[in-house]
Amino acid sequence: MGHLLAPSILAADFANLQRDVETVNASEADWFHLDVMDGVFVPNISFGIPVIKAIAKHAKKPLDVHLMIVDPDRYIDAFHDLGADVLTVHYEACPHLHRTLQAIRAKGMKAGVALNPHTPVSLLQDVIGEFDLVCLMSVNPGFGGQKFIERTYQKVRELRGMINEAGTSAMIEIDGGVGSNNWAKLVDAGADVLVAGSSTFNAPVPADAIREMKGLPVEA
Ligand code: DX5
Ligand code: ZN
């Protein structure tokens, strides 16, 4: 299976959300990536449950919800009820990560764990069978449009090795600073899902940027 592309709605035009959701619906993209920030875990506040509910009404592709919040356990039911397909929590925000991942799966969602750039992938060894996706942050979480951290390639390769060795089917997602210059290298290193915010929505034609990052021909 080829890699998946998940445009991040954080970079969409919030005054034209329905238009931008339809752009993704009509494109070759695979998932909607939805960044929830609480102003505590990260130094920014984005959008929350009511806005995602409105997006879910129009979205025709799976919802990949990335929680950058403290105490995410409190909201697992709420995100399930609004239709999240993948629910990702931060390693750094979960003192009982094993329990949190099990609670997400118990609701029938794919359980994801995100790692900040400073968090080594080796820390996932003792929960390797408990998640369906690892979101490797390739920028410090909180803002779109930041520069990709090159160390990420090494983390992808190391994590790919750990997942292969464990024999699970967990996916590796890369989040932050992904664009036309690095998507192919990330896929080569072992990434399965690429999040792309500014490189999608700041492109002259978002559908073409999506095709390019899917490795599909773009008409001139
Ligand atoms: C950053 C978010 C990302 C963000 C990526 O905290 O988790 O999903 O939208 O934005 P770009 O693709 O612009 O780096
Ligand atoms: Zn994200």
Task: Specify whether the CB–CB gap between 7 and 209 falls below 8 A.
Answer: no
Mutate to test the pocket of ligand 1, among 198, 200, 201 (most ligand atoms within 8 A of CB): 198
Which pLDDT score is estimated for 208? 98
Tell which residue, 188, 174, 155, has the closest CA to residue 112.
Answer: 174
pLDDT digit string, tens, across residues 97-156: 999 999 999 999 999 999 999 999 999 999 999 999 999 999 999 999 999 999 999 999
Nearest ligand by distance to the CA of 44: 1
Q: How far is CA 131 from the centre of its chain?
A: 14
Helix H, strand E, coil C: the string for 21-50 is: HHHHHCCCCCCEEEEEEECCCCCCECCCHH
Longest dimension (CA), the chain: 51
β-strands 193-196, 86-90 pairing? unpaired
Q: pLDDT of 184-217, one tens digit each?
A: 999 999 999 999 999 999 999 999 999 999 999 9
Instruction: Give residues (CB < 6 A) around ligand 1.
Output: 8, 10-11, 33, 35, 66, 139, 141-142, 144-146, 175-178, 195-199
* Residue 8 DSSP label: B
Alpha carbon of 69 to ligand 1 centroid (Å): 15
Smallest CA-to-CA distance from 25 within 66, 67, 2, 57 is with: 57
In this prediction, residue 215 carries a pLDDT of 98
Place of tokens 């900040």: 116
Sign, CA torsion 189/202/218/2: positive
Give me the active site residues, please. Answer: 35, 175
Give the ligand with the smallest distance to the CA of 176.
Answer: 1
58 is written with which tokens? 């129009």
Average pLDDT over residues 162-180: 98
The answer to whether 201 touches 20, Cβ cutoff 8 Å, is yes
How confident is the model at residue 28, as a pLDDT? 98
Q: Which domains, and CATH codes, for the chain?
A: 4-213 (3.20.20.70)
**Nearest atom, ligand 1, residue 141 CA:** 6
